Amino acid sequence: MNDWSPSATLEAVKARADLLRTVRAFFDERAVMEVRTPHLAAHGVTDEHIDGIEVPGYGWLQSSPEYHMKRLLAAGSGPIYQIAPAFRHGEAGGRHNPEFTLLEWYRPGFDLAALVQECVELLAPILGAAPRSVTFRALFADATGEDPLSARADTLVARAEAAGAPAGLDYRQAVDFLMATVVEPSLDRDALTVVTDFPGWAAALAQTREDDDGALVARRFEIYHRHLELANGYQELTDADEQQRRFDADNARRRAAGKPAMPADRYLLAALQAGLAPCSGVALGIERLQMVLTGATRIEQVLPFPIQRA
């Protein structure tokens, strides 16, 4: 067996170093400070679909540096970025590895549009791609023929099943299935597609608002290129009470799905109570960015030691 050797070429390893140098120069020029927060901490996240990796006696490997970075922001750090490892149980495949790298940054005083603009300024020159912006609702309706915000649950579930979904999905799962299997593959490969206004129930840690039709949407965006999801950003929730309600709602869904509830991160709640100034933040998958840059079709072509040989 030669499984001691890297699965990525040395050219790919070097391309990563070059990419990270470009990223650091970008933030340096804009006076965004690089920070380092814990990879191992007492709390995991409550997200129904993100399962952490527990370290007995210590807590959880962090699935993103978000909570700690928000605590720095609440302490008055000003704009910050981090290139951090992130860990997610069970996520392994052509586009996923249980350990991966997030470039995450936060901009106090930026609304969502300003942060989208900054993402485009970082990515468009690297990728040589022109940006285009579309709402989740319009994109989804265009690709599937159904309105994700107003269609009946059984209509969406039937649409998902027609596209090969397993039986027994609920409304949200049907939307997720169609997004991953029908909508993403329909995107213009060559464009840098910014998808905005996710459904309100998919807000995660984003603020919500009503769209022009009065439907609840999230101040959340994602960026896609070459059919790969690269980045996910929010105009951040800063209300501690609403944050607590989201944690509780997440845990209710976790329990309903037969998963253990995750204790809410009391440090984050306390930081929000102390006061988090309005800000926007985004997480970008470094390996995904490497994949689209090099034309790699599988993540092990850009990660020297994927989990199978790590």
Partner 1 sequence: MASYSTNEFKSGLKVMFEGDPCSILENEFVKPGKGQAFNRVRMRNLKSGKVWERTFKSGESLEGADVMDVTMQYLYSDGEFWHFMDPTSFEQKAADSAALGDSKQWLKEEDLCEVTLYNGEPLSVSPPNFVELEIVETDPGLKGDTAGTGGKPATLSTGAVVRVPLFVQTGEVVKVDTRTGEYVGRIKG
Radius of gyration, alpha carbons of the chain: 19
- Give whichever of 22 and 297 is closer to partner 1, judged by the CB atom: 297
Q: In the block, which residue shows the tokens 């049907």?
A: 174
Q: Beta strands 33-34 and 40-41: pairing type?
A: unpaired
Binding map of partner 1 across residues 28-67, x = CB under 8 A, - = no contact: -------------------x-xx-----------------
CA distance 203 to 46: 13
Q: Candidates 24-32, 151-159, 171-179, 264-272 — which segment interacts with partner 1 by CB under 8 A? A: 171-179
197 touches 210 (CB < 8 A): no
82 touches 35 (CB < 8 A): yes
Amino acid at residue number 85: P
Query: Which residue in 66, 146, 197, 222 binds partner 1 (CB under 8 A)?
Result: 222
Angular region, 228: left φ>0, alpha ψ -120 to 50, beta rest: beta
CA distance 84 to 66: 10
| Minimum distance from residue 14 beta carbon to partner 1 (Å) | 28
| Number of chain residues interacting with partner 1 (CB under 8 A) | 28
Amino acid at residue number 9: T
Q: Report the site for partner 1 in 248-287 (rule: CB under 8 A).
A: none
> Does 295 participate in binding partner 1 (rule CB under 8 A)?
no
* 181: DSSP letter: I
Q: Beta strands 99-108 and 80-87: pairing type?
A: antiparallel
Binding map of partner 1 across residues 180-209, x = CB under 8 A, - = no contact: xx--x-----------------x-x-----
* SS3 at position 35: coil
> Does 165 participate in binding partner 1 (rule CB under 8 A)?
yes
For residue 195, the tally of other CB atoms under 10 A from its CB is 25
- Look up residue 121 and give its two tokens: 């300024």
- Give whichever of 63 and 238 is closer to partner 1, judged by the CB atom: 63
- Give whichever of 35 and 237 is closer to partner 1, judged by the CB atom: 237
- Give whichever of 35 and 182 is closer to partner 1, judged by the CB atom: 182
- Give whichever of 77 and 161 is closer to partner 1, judged by the CB atom: 161
Q: Candidates 91-99, 130-138, 150-158, 236-244 — which segment interacts with partner 1 by CB under 8 A? A: 91-99
Q: Candidates 11-19, 129-137, 169-177, 268-276 — which segment interacts with partner 1 by CB under 8 A? A: 169-177
User: Which stretches of the chain bind partner 1, using CB under 8 A?
Assistant: 47, 49-50, 90-96, 164-166, 169, 172-173, 175-177, 179-181, 184, 202, 204, 222, 229, 232
